[in-house]
Amino acid sequence: MELTDLKIFAAVAEEGSISGAAERLEYVQSNVTARIRKLESELGASLFRRHPKGVELTEKGAVFREYAALILKLSEEAANAVKETEFPSGPLAVGVVETVTCGNFMNAIAEFQSRYPDVSLSLVTGTSSELLTQVLDRRLDGAFVTGDVDSSVLVREYAERDEIVLLSGGDPSEPYPDLAKVRWAVSPIGCPFRAVLERWLQREGIAFRNKIEIGSLETLLNSVKAGLACTLLPRSVLTGAYDKLSVRPIPEEFRYAEASLVRRDDPLPKRAFAAFADMVRVRGL
């Protein structure tokens, strides 16, 4: 079994077709087919099911994909470790939920890039659940997420507690809004603050119906600022144009959430990620 075989297998799995993998890898299609058949012969198992539109992983193929990804990742990291200079360098992919970027985050990023110019940093945004999946799949070196992190294969490098508050665009001296009549602006499913809101309303016996789902944090905050809706978000988002939003407390049992920097519990994390985590611990979010 060669690394090239694993790279071809991974490309076919990602593309969902032999032809797509061949085009991506700039190989002849027959060569890709031959290498997959060779790999299946060596393993004594079918890795793909063929269908008119392409291929899909078998159950054993899905298991093998996990190991192939690990082997390819470790081979890349081994090569980078040998090539590494005395200072952190090379690619570093970090996921981040948008709410984390509202505080000191960008200043920390600017300082990191200034201190380690040889690191090629990529920032990937998404929901906490999406980013955790990418960390577990080794597509990200680490990620800033919010809410519970419950996995034996993840390491929490840093955590910071933030207060969740009810935000509205009205006068803060007005009475507390009637939750049964509020229109809510929420992020897509997977957002921990939406989950907190759903649990709170459920406890109050209020149906979660009157809502607007918005994918962008900035658009969501602007909708609140304009008086279109209310939302639940961490207090740390109240910066810049949004520092005048009306802020009201929510019940104690729902009031706090943690923002964490996590990575997969691999034995040799990248030097660049270790330096990044060290700086975050010193500077905070």
- Phi (first) and psi of residue 175, to 5 degrees: -60, 155
User: How is residue 230 annotated by DSSP?
Assistant: B
Q: Shortest CA distance to 230 belongs to which of 158, 165, 281?
A: 165
- Which residue do the tokens 């520092």 mark? 243
Helices (H), the chain: 3-15, 18-25, 29-43, 59-83, 105-115, 128-136, 192-203, 217-225, 271-283
Distances (CA, A) of 60 to 9, 48, 221, 235: 13, 9, 45, 46
CATH 1.10.10.10 domain locations along the chain: 3-81
Residue 125: strand pairing partners: 96
* 247 vs 271: CA distance, rounded Å: 41
Determine the CATH number of domain 162-254. 3.40.190.10
Residue type, 153: V
Class of domain 3-81: mainly alpha
* 123 vs 97: CA distance, rounded Å: 10
Query: Residue 113: what pLDDT?
Result: 92
Question: Across the 285 residues of the chain, what is the mean pLDDT of every consecutive 10-residue run?
Answer: 89 91 90 92 91 89 89 78 72 92 82 92 91 89 88 89 91 85 91 93 94 93 93 90 89 93 84 91 82
CB 273 within 8 A of CB 263: yes
Name 277's Cβ contacts closer than 8 Å, sequence gap at least 6: 142, 157, 158, 261, 263
Q: Shortest CA distance to 242 belongs to which of 125, 101, 147?
A: 101
CB 259 within 8 A of CB 145: yes
CATH 3.40.190.10 domain locations along the chain: 87-161+258-283, 162-254
* 191 vs 128: CA distance, rounded Å: 7
* 212 vs 205: CA distance, rounded Å: 20
* 135 vs 140: CA distance, rounded Å: 5
Query: Residue 88: what pLDDT?
Result: 85
Strand residue runs (E) in 136-255: 142-146, 154-168, 184-186, 211-213, 231-234, 246-248
Strands 90-96 and 119-125: parallel
Query: Residue 148: what pLDDT?
Result: 80
CB 76 within 8 A of CB 10: no
* 179 vs 210: CA distance, rounded Å: 10
Angle (CA) 274 261 222, round 5°:
135
* 39 vs 31: CA distance, rounded Å: 12
CATH 3.40.190.10 for domain 87-161+258-283, yes or no, is yes
Residue 51: strand pairing partners: 54
